[in-house]
């Protein structure tokens, strides 16, 4: 809240959070100390603004304004791909999401596009650096 300048003190922050006006990754959280992490989508329904939490060049977190279409998905890094009980394939992302029955083409350190309303892995996300 302090990065966005919506609240000036703790009392105002608590009032905004308790009114259930803020969503993190598409879910309402009323805990004031709930940690938002790297690449989390923060949405304000009342103002219609959406932000993504990213690292800045000096190593600090900063918020990046995104569109409503971009707020419906997030990009996550695959940390582990395994077979579970009963040979059930699953993958684990950098933010501890477990996705069952992933695309067999997805490997460790790949980026996947996660649909936030359903929580399903939609596609393999290729990043091309030039």
- 70-110: per-residue pLDDT in tens? 899 888 899 999 999 999 999 999 988 888 888 888 889 98
Helix (H, G, I), strand (E, B) or coil at 7: coil
CATH number of the structural domain spanning residue 16: 3.10.290.10
CATH number of the structural domain spanning residue 84: 2.40.50.740
- If one counts the domains in the chain, the total is 2
Distant-in-sequence, close-in-space partners of 3: CB < 8 Å, separation ≥ 6: 61, 62, 63
Alpha helices in the chain (DSSP H): 10-18
Residue 1: pLDDT above 70?
no
Are residue 31 and residue 43 in the same domain, yes or no? yes
Are residue 17 and residue 60 in the same domain, yes or no? yes
Is 1 within a domain?
Answer: no
Predicted pLDDT at 129 = 52
DSSP letter for 101, please. Answer: S
CA distances (Å), origin 116, targets 13, 23, 33, 120, 123: 25, 11, 22, 7, 13
Are residue 80 and residue 60 in the same domain, yes or no? no
Burial class of residue 127 in the structure, from the number of CB atoms within 10 Å of its CB (0-12 exposed, 13-18 middle, 19+ buried)? exposed
Are residue 87 and residue 42 in the same domain, yes or no? no
Is 2 within a domain?
Answer: no
Is 94 within a domain?
Answer: yes
Could you list the residue range(s) of the whole structural domain that residue 94 is in? 72-125
Residue 127: pLDDT above 80?
no
Is 57 within a domain?
Answer: yes
Kindly report, residue by residue over 17-76, the tens digit of the pLDDT: 899 989 998 899 898 888 888 888 999 988 899 999 888 888 888 889 999 998 998 888
Mean pLDDT of the chain: 86
Is 5 within a domain?
Answer: no
Helix (H, G, I), strand (E, B) or coil at 6: coil
Nearest to 1 by CA among 51, 68, 45: 51
5 phi and psi angles, rounded to 5 deg: 65, 35
Are residue 115 and residue 78 in the same domain, yes or no? yes
């Amino acid at each position: 809240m302090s990065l966005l300048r919506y609240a000036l003190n703790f009392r105002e922050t608590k009032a905004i959070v308790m009114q259930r006006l803020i969503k993190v990754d598409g879910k309402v959280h009323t805990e004031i100390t709930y940690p938002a992490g790297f690449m989390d989508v923060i949405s304000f329904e009342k103002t219609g603004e959406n932000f993504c939490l990213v690292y800045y060049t000096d190593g600090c977190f900063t918020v990046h304004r995104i569109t409503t279409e971009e707020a419906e998905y997030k990009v996550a890094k695959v940390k582990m791909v395994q077979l579970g009980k009963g040979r059930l394939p699953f993958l684990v992302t950098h933010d501890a999401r477990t996705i069952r029955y992933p695309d067999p083409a997805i490997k460790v350190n790949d980026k996947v596009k996660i649909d936030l309303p359903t929580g399903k892995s939609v596609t393999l996300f290729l990043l091309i650096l030039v």
